Structure 1
Amino acid sequence: MKFYIGSSFQNIKQVRHVAKVLTLNGFIHTYDWTGNERANTLDKLQSIGEEEKQAVTESDFVIILLPGGKGSHIELGMALGLGKPLYLYSPSDEINDPAGSSTFYHISGVNKFTGSIDDFLLHLLKHELVPD
């Protein structure tokens, strides 16, 4: 099973932790953007965008770790549009507050989770580790 993780640069440590746990459990990470520096040219933005688009397309499921930026919300939309299972993680219950939430967090196909990142990983593995 292949996965993609969308988030923001401020969450690089968590993204790497989630990716490591999943790969140790036999999953394949379609693209690790955490090694990128912030793009400072349009050419770099385009190149990274193409790689991330391909990674979302090739994934079997997509994970969005909040808080996220513009890119992660676009990746969320691509995953939904492609019919990919989507796991939305928030460390707090903010995603359930209508004042600060997004309509797309609450549609079918979005598996929301709030709490610790390790509890989220247990939840994710429970849903995605299917015996052959």
Structure 2
Amino acid sequence: MHTHGYRPGIYINEDDFFDPNPFSEGCTERCRQEFFKTLEYLRERLKIQIEIFKHLKKNEDGSFPTFNIYDVYSYYEGRDDELQDKNIQDLFDVDILSMDISHLKKRTDIPKSVERKEKETEIEIEI
């Protein structure tokens, strides 16, 4: 199977994303509700990741850049000191801060990279 760089083994185990027998012996209604709660949690996280991946810019050669999704999360929360790629915003075609990443608290400051770009734009306009 040719995957075009996608690594299905990370997400799929033995041809199934989810355990085909999720309930252990003696599972009660509470157990079943916890299972549903977990699936809802996973669905929300996957929905967010899909949106993030949809907005990734292509490289000039048509490939997509590698990046760490935790850099997106760190940037979103304002934890810039934890960024591996300080230019993470440049990899996306939308402002990361405009995304709804519901499980994270959005930063309230202006990221230094945005502040720098705004100053560069002001300088260009003045010239």
Tell which has more relative contact order, 1 or 2 (C-alpha 8 A, sep 6+): 1
Report the TM-score range of the alignment, normalised by the length of the smaller protein. Answer: under 0.3
TM-score by length of 1: 0.27
Please identify which structure carries the higher strand content. 1
